[in-house]
Structure 1
Amino acid sequence: MLGELNELLGASPQRPGTGKFTLLRDTRTDGSFLVHHFLSFYLKAGCKVCFVALLQSFSHYNIVAQKLGVSLTAARERGQLVFLEGLKSCLDLLFGEKEPSGDPSPLQFLSGSTSNLKALFDFVRTSLTPAEGDSWQGPVLLVDDLSVLLSLGASPVAVLDFIHYCRVVVCSQLQGNIVVLVHSGEDGADEENELLGTALGHHSDLILWAEGLATGFCKDIHGEIKIIKRLSLQSTEQDVVQVYQYKIQEKNVTFFARGLSAAVL
């Protein structure tokens, strides 16, 4: 969990908020550090988390989470974390392996038997619907990386429909939160990704957009992040936009205003 980022967002595990949709985007850089932050943040906040991990293995996320003070293995064993390992699910589906539970694969659309993401939505809904006796805080859906669904053959409309129904259930009915990452290609080369990111941006409460430096690599400044708080969704107020530069460290990320890096000063 990144303490400095929490301060910039005005958030803390003691008050994780409810009913919010957060969009993470990255351009010319890897925005996965934001995914790791929100994963550790919500687990420390005591929330029930459904993590649809389409980009990396469980062991990868667990190693990073341990550096941030969280054990995904322990969270999964106590029922706080439901982890969908997309890479393994894809291989199991392609090679005819059945889910351990006997239920249809959440990525059933890969088999060509359906063109929608209903099975994935059903997986999310079942995972986050509170069971009797549950004492977790509000449920959270985290997706890394939503763009992978497009690469696997899902249409932008199918992905947007999936997110729409997830928002209705998770944010509205269950008063939880959703965090998704969408990759943005340089100069808008990938039209489907840009369409997806733009469409989701119109309905987001918060947008965190990480970008690589236009001047290229710098060992002391790894990129810029734009924080957009969508106040216009609830009122006539203008959106609040803040821009910071950042440097990724072993167990933390440092944020500073443009031109105020210690290396520059």
Structure 2
Amino acid sequence: MFLELNELLNASPERPEQGKLTLLCDTKTDGSFLVHHFLSFYLKAGCKVCFVALLQSFSHYNIIAQKLGVSLTAAKERGQLVFLEGLKSCFDVLFGEEQHVRQTSPLRFVSEDGSNLKTMYEFVRTSLMASGSDSWKCPVLLMDDLSVLLSLGVRPVDVLDFIHYCRVAVCSQLKGNIVVLVHSNDDSEDEANELVVNSLCHQSNLILWAEGLATGFCKDVHGQLKIIQKGSSELKAERTLLRIYQYKIQDKNVTFFARGMSAAVL
């Protein structure tokens, strides 16, 4: 996890919040560093994590997690991490020979009409249900990334229904958290993707939006991050707070600074 980002969010693995939906977005840049942050953050916090990884392989996430001081292999072995490798699951569903695997796979919808995400929802719910031997803190659903579902032919309304049911199960019933990444492009004609992004923006408690620089590539400033924190609906006096920082990604860390205040610029 990135300590500077924790400070900006006033977050600590010793006291993780509960019942929150966090939306990660990126536009004209790669926001995957945010996924790696939250994955390592919640594992270090002692939370039970269900990671639906639709974009990369387990080894990819594990290599980066090790740089951040977390072993995904060890987390899986001790039952703290449930990892769904989307690439492998899609291959098994489409080309696997075992009928049982195709019928029970959480990604069974890829061989159907793409409208029924019930098996994936059941996978998430059962993965995060506490057993008698569990001593983990609040459960967490982490998804990278939701845009892949649209690419696989899932309708926006079904994606949003899936997130709604996950919020009820994880945030409301289990008092846990959900973190999802969605790609966005203001210039895109992909109306389905933008519908999902806009809908999730309204539902989220926290939005982290990574954007590329309007001036183009810079080796010392890799992008800017919008942090949008919404006030509690119970406390109407609390307003939505918007902060914008620029950042530079390093091998094992990300540094943040106010716009135009990079040491390289000054």
Measured against the shorter chain, the TM-score band is over 0.9
Task: For 1:240 and 1:59, locate their aligned partners in 2 and report how far apart those are by CA, in whole Å.
Answer: 37
Distance verdict in 2 for CA 1:258–1:232, change over 3 Å: same
| Contact 1:184-1:190 at 8 Å conserved across structures | no
**1:15-37 C-alpha deviation (Å, 9 max, x unpaired):** 11100100000000000000000
* Counterpart code for 1:212: G
What is the CA-CA distance between 1:101 and the residue it aligns to?
A: 7.5
Taking the TM superposition and a 5 Å limit, the aligned residue runs for 1:29-108 are: 29-98=29-98, 104-108=104-108
Percent sequence identity is 73
Q: 1:259: which partner in 2? A: 260
Q: 2:154: which partner in 1? A: 154
**1:193-236 C-alpha deviation (Å, 9 max, x unpaired):** 11101001101000000000011000000000000001154432
**1:124-152 C-alpha deviation (Å, 9 max, x unpaired):** 00100001121000000000000000000
- CA-based RMSD of the aligned residues comes to 1.5
Q: 2:22: which partner in 1? A: 22
| Contact 1:25-1:208 at 8 Å conserved across structures | yes
What is the CA-CA distance between 1:108 and the residue it aligns to?
A: 1.0
Task: For 1:105 and 1:232, locate their aligned partners in 2 and report how far apart those are by CA, in whole Å.
Answer: 38
TM-score (norm 2): 0.96
- Partner SS, residue 132 of structure 1: coil
Q: 1:123: which partner in 2? A: 123
Task: Structure 2: give runs of 5+ residues left out of the alignment.
Answer: none
**1:43-95 C-alpha deviation (Å, 9 max, x unpaired):** 00000000000000000000000000000000001100000000000000001
| Contact 1:222-1:245 at 8 Å conserved across structures | yes
Q: 2:217: which partner in 1? A: 217
TM-score (norm 1): 0.97
Tell which deviates more after alignment, 209-218 or 187-196.
Answer: 187-196
What is the CA-CA distance between 1:188 and the residue it aligns to?
A: 3.7
Q: Which runs of 4+ in 1 moved over 6 A?
A: 99-103
Q: 1:175: which partner in 2? A: 175
| Contact 1:16-1:45 at 8 Å conserved across structures | yes
* Counterpart code for 2:166: C
Distance verdict in 2 for CA 1:238–1:84, change over 3 Å: same
Distance verdict in 2 for CA 1:99–1:77, change over 3 Å: farther
* Counterpart code for 1:85: E
- Partner SS, residue 221 of structure 1: coil
Task: For 1:114 and 1:188, locate their aligned partners in 2 and report how far apart those are by CA, in whole Å.
Answer: 23
| Contact 1:205-1:233 at 8 Å conserved across structures | no
Q: 1:242: which partner in 2? A: 243
* Counterpart code for 1:251: K
Task: For 2:123 and 2:265, locate their aligned partners in 1 and report how far apart those are by CA, in whole Å.
Answer: 48
**1:152-202 C-alpha deviation (Å, 9 max, x unpaired):** 010000000000000000000000000000000242432111110100110
| Contact 1:89-1:105 at 8 Å conserved across structures | yes
Q: 1:194: which partner in 2? A: 194
* Counterpart code for 1:143: M
| Contact 1:51-1:83 at 8 Å conserved across structures | yes
